[in-house]
Structure 1
């Protein structure tokens, strides 16, 4: 890739694997290696800590060291101060908001989640929803996390036709199911990241180039696998540009972030 955008990256330590960790310096090395000029990052401590603030504070500190790191604050609508945390994150330079319902233990249909999503839109930020972050077949046997139900994602998409959003951790067949639930609605405000799009290298050639964007889920997953899959895909140059950066740029531009 050249000047790609990684829509799904993280700082911090994945608790269940010793080698799954990243700091600003290692993400910078990775960006140079795979040809990425921008990474949309959150901090894993905002998922696994006692609150989201600590991880987000570490996130904002880290992005100051490398302007390729674009901060996406992780928020939890079940925190009673979620609205204040959103305002604080925006004041500190958040370029987007990331939700991890299956790890924080809420549903997208909960009133608190609906209210937070609406507030994100009012702030002019893109929304990033992680349907999953790890392959459930490799999940630690003592750790419980739930994949976000596809009908909940479909309802979110249907209810927010003008909110630019990224859906992360879906198989291509699962996105097809979400689209089927949504029906004939315009989906130009939604992109799906590529890290969990399973299949051989050639699978990318069969995807809708307007609907997907590069996202690696590094360091939880290996960024090199998805980057290689995209870089070797037999697709037109214009489609490669859309998948590697153009669709991601559209998300930020549409949000005004």
Structure 2
């Protein structure tokens, strides 16, 4: 499953990240990422694994990077050597077998992309879809959208779903939100997923790695979730230059993973937030960017 790219570029420091943001806003097509007047070094630059991207079209508007070729080109600019890709089609389509097959076929064209299958446990045949993700499509994990698919984490079939994922050695990603409620289409208002059932639910599956995507939670709830050793978070909705260090104060750093929520958000937005904090050394950055992913994948095979 480890399909890492071979192209590396130096990682941005804080000044370069801010300059990059300005360059992107001006629509520049060529950006120099090398630090000016810095001595040559033999240190290997940090690799980045993005655990939260999507392919194909966001249902409600066009996004600048919603073509896979353009998105992968952008990821490569920032040394993102692997990206876990769900499918926007999985939000509203009912034939998820076809959705997952198209996703797998698209990801096969790019060595960086790892397909993550969509499962909707309210549809008939979801058990077969889940099994196919592992046995036919060779996917390492599945992605759930409880709010779009109209169920809660309290529903009884969720336990069965997690049990089946654990037996197939699949990790589970739960998208807590996809879009700020203030910008949602009036015909489809979707609330953030209520995560309060997770402590009791995940207590039944201590060996199943579960990652929350796009979660924006109060510190008290994050501290409660921190007690679950198999729960991981991404940082796509963490706000401000101090947000990620503050998250690491209440949630273990070794279970915080990089995720950009691209192409809904531009990939550099999360990178800038990480580097603006200026509070992580290289080993901590590498943990967030890649090392912690290995721990999550190891847990899914234990």
Q: Is the TM value for this pair above 0.5?
A: yes
Give the alignment's TM-score, normalised by structure 2. Answer: 0.78
Return the match for 1:225 from 269, 273, 283: 269
State yes or no: 1:201 paired with 2:241: yes
Per-residue displacement from partner, 1:223-246 (whole Å, max 9, x unpaired)?
221121123431121111111111
Per-residue displacement from partner, 1:123-167 (whole Å, max 9, x unpaired)?
011110111111112212221212111312333333322211111
Q: Contact conserved, 1:5 with 1:37, CA < 8 A, in 2?
A: yes
Count of residue pairs the alignment pairs up? 252
| Distance in structure 2 (CA, Å) of the matches to 1:26 and 1:153 | 36
Q: Contact conserved, 1:13 with 1:21, CA < 8 A, in 2?
A: no
Say what the alpha-carbon RMSD is for the aligned residues: 1.9
Return the match for 1:131 from 142, 155, 176: 176
Cα distance change of structure 1 residues 146 and 159 upon mapping to structure 2, 3 Å threshold:
farther
Larger Rg: 2
| Distance in structure 2 (CA, Å) of the matches to 1:88 and 1:29 | 30
* Aligned position for 2:256: 212
Return the match for 2:139 from 83, 91, 94: 94
Q: Secondary structure at the match of 1:141?
A: coil
User: Bigger shift: 96-105 or 189-198?
Assistant: 189-198
| Distance in structure 1 (CA, Å) of the matches to 2:142 and 2:293 | 14
Q: Secondary structure at the match of 1:201?
A: coil
| Distance in structure 1 (CA, Å) of the matches to 2:159 and 2:202 | 12
Residue 71 of structure 1 and its aligned partner are, at CA, apart by 1.1
State yes or no: 1:152 paired with 2:152: no
Q: Secondary structure at the match of 2:147?
A: helix
* Aligned position for 1:63: 107
| Distance in structure 1 (CA, Å) of the matches to 2:97 and 2:263 | 21
* Aligned position for 2:153: 108
The runs of 5 or more residues in structure 2 that have no matched partner are: 1-10, 12-45
Give the alignment's TM-score, normalised by structure 1. Answer: 0.91
Residue 21 of structure 1 and its aligned partner are, at CA, apart by 5.3
Q: Secondary structure at the match of 2:50?
A: strand
Return the match for 1:249 from 294, 297, 300: 294
Cα distance change of structure 1 residues 87 and 163 upon mapping to structure 2, 3 Å threshold:
same
| Distance in structure 1 (CA, Å) of the matches to 2:282 and 2:229 | 21
